[in-house]
């Protein structure tokens, strides 16, 4: 609110100076003004210029509109937002706000959603404050309206993300907790039936394990999201990462009847956290197994490649022969709790957090994650990480250094 008052005062002074200049009708010529040759040749900032300097320095958009709805002042932030069309406001939502303020003669604040589709941009949400500027020559009359606009699109997006996160967590917790409650009641009722008790106890263990995994992954994701990009880290051998990820997923793959093979080319090393990278690759393998039919193959591979800026990088890929992804799923597959096939994911114990964790691990290592997929033909997820060699030189692909392991993993 204090900022709005300051801006309103500055706008009033700036507008008053402009109006005074127009009404004066004439300006003294430069030759009429005596010049002190000894004076500092640099232009001095006068008191009259200060309001405009303050307005132009603000990161908030400031626009002053007169009674004829003509823009008489706009700072660089307002022009950068694309809110103006010549000397007019380019959006009816803002024009209506000015009209209401002019009629009421009082300040008002609210949220304004501006569709920028026609400008080829995403819609934005603005916190808008309209302040009436009084007419010095006609008391009680509004001479102009100052608009103070703050882009709150990112704040709103974060609020939506938090709200969705709470809703999703509540939903995910409700299922196993509800199942455990029902199973506990069933055990009580079947106290005289040892086989039923054993069966229900097994179900309770399954739901308890699912609940525990959800909590662990929530903690891991929260830790990764709050972490800064790794400044250094250890020297990590990518072959070791692939081998460990393969071992972690061995039992799940055997139960699903999926063959997992691992192949790396060259002595590939990165700087980072081996535990996080192994978790990321294991999550990709788990995901591939969950969405692949029995009797198919999942392939892990690592090689030297190039990133989007053509810099050397290590590419770690996990490919499957599963159900693939529809084009509409590709943009959302790394979102928390997003599931391509919710029924299949829950049946395999998935939490919907695995790929989100992969994304944050890659980001924290200065890398990226991408996906290629054809519906019905399988998917390939690729992590790209900055490469690091002991000699400081990038590795070169060499078939002589190829390592391959294979198993019904």
Q: Token match 């626009």: residue?
A: 63
| Nearest by Cα to 289 from 262, 250, 241 | 250
pLDDT band at 49 (very low <50, low <70, confident <90, very high): low
Q: What is the pLDDT of residue 132?
A: 92
Using the predicted structure, report yes or no on whether residue 19 has a pLDDT greater than 70. Answer: no
Q: What is the pLDDT of residue 78?
A: 86
The CATH number given to 228-407 is 3.30.565.10
Element holding 404 (H helix, E strand): strand 403-407
Task: Reduce the secondary structure of 266-319 to three states and give it as a string.
Answer: CCCEEEECHHHHHHHHHHHHHHHHHCCCCCCEEEEEEEEEECCCCCEEEEEEEE
245 touches 299 (CB < 8 A)? no
Q: What is the mean pLDDT of residues 33-46?
A: 47
**For residue 351, how many other CB atoms are within 10 A of its CB?**
22
Q: Token match 């790929």: residue?
A: 355
Q: What angle do CA 366, 368, 371 make, to 5 degrees?
A: 170
Is the pTM higher than 0.75? The answer reads no
Q: What angle do CA 8, 9, 12 make, to 5 degrees?
A: 85
Q: What is the pLDDT of residue 124?
A: 85
Q: What is the pLDDT of residue 207?
A: 78
What is the average pLDDT value for the chain, to the nearest integer?
77
pLDDT band at 392 (very low <50, low <70, confident <90, very high): very low
Cβ-proximal residues to 74 (8 Å cutoff; 6+ apart), any chain? 61, 62, 63, 64, 83, 84
Q: What is the pLDDT of residues 311-360, one digit of tens each?
A: 889 999 999 999 888 887 888 888 877 766 655 555 555 667 888 889 98
Strands 259-264 and 297-306: parallel
Token pair belonging to 395: 């590795």
Q: What is the pLDDT of residue 232?
A: 62
Q: What is the pLDDT of residues 110-153, one digit of tens each?
A: 888 887 665 567 788 899 999 999 888 888 889 899 999 998 98
d(CA 383, CA 342): 24
Q: Where are the domains of the chain?
A: 2-24+44-151, 153-226, 228-407
User: pLDDT: is 184 or 15 the higher one?
Assistant: 184
Q: What is the pLDDT of residues 325-337, one digit of tens each?
A: 888 788 888 887 7
Helix (H/G/I), strand (E/B), else coil: 151: strand
Using the predicted structure, report yes or no on whether residue 282 has a pLDDT greater than 80. Answer: yes
Using the predicted structure, report yes or no on whether residue 21 has a pLDDT greater than 50. Answer: no
Q: State residue 341 phi and psi, 5-degree precision.
A: -130, 90
Q: Which CATH class is domain 153-226?
A: mainly alpha
Q: Token match 């709103």: residue?
A: 156
- 21-35, 67-81, 193-207, 362-376: range with lowest mean pLDDT: 21-35
| Nearest by Cα to 280 from 324, 220, 326, 321 | 220
- C-alpha dihedral over 56, 60, 66, 71, to 10 degrees? 70
Q: What is the pLDDT of residue 309?
A: 84
Domain 2-24+44-151 has CATH 3.30.450.20: yes
| pLDDT above 90: percentage of residues in the chain | 23
d(CA 112, CA 106): 18
Q: What is the pLDDT of residue 171?
A: 66
Q: What is the length of the chain?
A: 409
d(CA 98, CA 144): 9
Q: State residue 69 phi and psi, 5-degree precision.
A: 65, 30
Q: What is the pLDDT of residue 389?
A: 52
pLDDT band at 219 (very low <50, low <70, confident <90, very high): confident
């Amino acid at each position: 609110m204090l900022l709005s008052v300051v801006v309103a005062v500055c706008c009033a002074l700036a507008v008053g100076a402009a109006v005074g200049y127009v009404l004066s009708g004439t300006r003294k010529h430069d030759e009429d003004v005596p010049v002190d040759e000894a004076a500092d040749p640099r232009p001095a900032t006068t008191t009259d210029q200060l309001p405009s300097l303050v307005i132009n320095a603000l990161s908030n958009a400031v626009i002053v509109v007169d009674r004829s709805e003509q823009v008489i002042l706009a700072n660089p932030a307002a022009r950068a937002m694309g809110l103006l069309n010549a000397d007019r406001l380019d959006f009816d939502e803002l024009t209506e706000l000015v009209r209401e303020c002019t009629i009421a003669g009082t300040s008002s604040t609210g949220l304004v959603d501006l569709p920028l589709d026609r400008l080829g941009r995403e819609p934005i949400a603005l916190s808008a404050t309209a302040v009436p500027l009084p007419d010095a020559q006609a008391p009680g009359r509004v001479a102009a309206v100052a608009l103070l606009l703050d882009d709150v699109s990112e704040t709103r997006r974060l609020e939506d993300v938090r709200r969705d996160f709470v809703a999703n967590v509540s939903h995910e917790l409700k299922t196993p907790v509800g199942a455990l409650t029902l199973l506990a009641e069933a055990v009580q009722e079947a106290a005289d039936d040892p086989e039923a008790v054993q069966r229900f106890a097994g179900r309770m263990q399954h739901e308890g394990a699912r609940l525990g995994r959800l909590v662990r992954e929530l903690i891991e994701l929260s830790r990764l999201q709050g972490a800064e990009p790794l400044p250094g880290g250890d020297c990590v051998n990518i072959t070791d990462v692939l081998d460990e990820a393969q071992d972690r997923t061995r039992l799940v793959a055997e139960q699903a009847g999926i063959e997992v093979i691992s192949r790396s080319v060259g002595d590939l090393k990165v700087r980072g956290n081996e535990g996080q990278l192994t978790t990321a690759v294991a999550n990709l393998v788990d995901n591939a197994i969950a969405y692949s039919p029995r009797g198919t193959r999942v392939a892990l591979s690592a090689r030297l490649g190039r990133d989007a800026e053509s810099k050397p990088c290590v590419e770690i890929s996990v490919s499957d022969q599963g159900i693939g992804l529809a084009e509409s799923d590709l943009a959302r597959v790394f979102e928390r709790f997003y599931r391509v096939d919710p029924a299949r994911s829950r049946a395999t114990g998935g939490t919907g957090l695995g790929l989100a964790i992969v994304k944050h691990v890659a980001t924290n290592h200065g890398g990226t994650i991408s996906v290629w997929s054809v519906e019905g033909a399988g998917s390939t997820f690729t992590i790209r990480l900055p490469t690091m060699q002991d000699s400081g030189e990038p590795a070169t692909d060499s078939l002589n250094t190829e390592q391959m392991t294979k198993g019904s993993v």
